[in-house]
Amino acid sequence: MAANGAQVCLEVRQIKKFFGDQTVLRDVSFSLPQGEIWGLIGPNGAGKTTLFNIISGWQKPASGSVAFFGQETTAWPPERLSRAGLARTSQVPQIFPDMSVLENVLMGAWLGREPHPALPQAQEEAHYWLSLVGLEDKRHIRACDLPLPQQRLVELARALATRPRLLLLDEIAAGFSLGAVKRLAAGLLKMRDQGLTLLLTDHLLTILEAVADRLLALDRGEIIAQGPPASLIRHPEVVSAYLGTRCGTDANGDA
């Protein structure tokens, strides 16, 4: 159980990852309670996407473990995790480029869970999620013909169509206008209020400040600080990591 009494959605325990002789992640551990939004911040190369890849089954750690609602999932492939209720978006949108926007989301609604819903139901759900992200009027356009920010929304709608319990968002707001960021933040908070747990990483701190209950700061593969957004973004270790001046000190702990 989480400290606040909520069930633990995601438990990451002492994850290590190496690429050759380079340490990408070192002893990363945290427990994400169900129904919260947590943000993962850090400079380029901190290990954020690698950690997302390990949680979602695309890469395996050198050591450590991942548990999803109490069940160890470290060795599970992505498709099994998807059926269990874990969905993600990618830094570079992974869409079906020659399919229409609607067909992309339909793939999530129909194939993303078992048993598969009837096709009319899947189509109805796909329209709903497209409407939620503001792309219903573009449903017949080829996904590859959309600008990159809207391709991110297609991938988001497809992920939501799988009806996940945990959603990982990797740079979802990249390239968004201020108005689009505000609409996205409102949508994420609504999803949280409906019971969805979210873990997101974004260089745009505006959206993290708007939606995150807690932030984890990652630098050189280790968590250097964690705490509420208002305090963490002013934490000396976090500031120096972003400015490239951090010393090799261990400042793991609450901000």
Please classify residue 153 by burial: count the beta carbons closer than 10 Å to its beta carbon, then call 0-12 exposed, 13-18 middle and 19+ buried: buried
DSSP letter at 254 equals B
Residue 255 has pLDDT above 50, yes or no: no
Of 142, 163, 184, the position where a domain reaches its end is 163
Total residue count of the chain as it appears in this document? 255
pLDDT digits (tens, 9 = 90+) for 7-32: 999 999 999 999 999 999 999 999 99
92-150: pLDDT as tens digits: 999 999 999 999 999 999 877 777 778 888 999 999 999 999 999 999 999 999 999 99
Confidence bin at 248 (pLDDT 50/70/90): very low
* Average pLDDT for 225-235: 86
The reply to whether 41 and 8 lie within a common domain is yes
The bridge status of strand 86-88 relative to strand 71-72 is unpaired
Q: Does residue 33 form part of some domain?
A: yes
Specify whether 79 is located in the same domain as 129. Answer: no
Residue whose C-alpha is closest to residue 197's, from 33, 82, 13: 33
Beta-bridged to residue 12, according to DSSP, are 30, 66
In the chain, beta strands by DSSP E: 8-19, 22-33, 37-41, 63-68, 71-72, 86-88, 166-170, 197-201, 214-219, 222-227
Regarding whether 249 and 176 lie in a shared domain, the answer is: yes
What is the total count of domains within the chain? 2
Q: Are residues 73 and 138 in the same domain?
A: no
What is the predicted pLDDT for the residue at 250? 38
pLDDT reported for residue 254: 40
Per-residue model confidence as pLDDT tens digits over 49-76: 999 999 999 999 999 999 999 999 999 9
Same domain for 101 and 76: no
Question: Please, which residues have CB within 8 angstroms of residue 71's CB and are 6 or more apart in sequence?
Answer: 84
Average of pLDDT values for 187-203?
A: 94
Taking only the tens place, the pLDDT of each residue in 143-179 is: 999 999 999 999 999 999 999 999 999 999 999 999 9
Together in a domain, 223 and 202: yes
Averaged confidence pLDDT in the chain: 89
Which domain range does residue 217 map to? 1-85+165-255
CB atoms within 10 A of CB 125: 20
Examine the pLDDT at 199 and tell me if it is beyond 50. yes
**What pLDDT score does 4 carry?**
57
Q: Is residue 201 part of a domain?
A: yes
- pLDDT, tens digit (0-9, with 9 covering 90-100), for 34-46: 999 999 998 888 8
| pTM score | 0.88
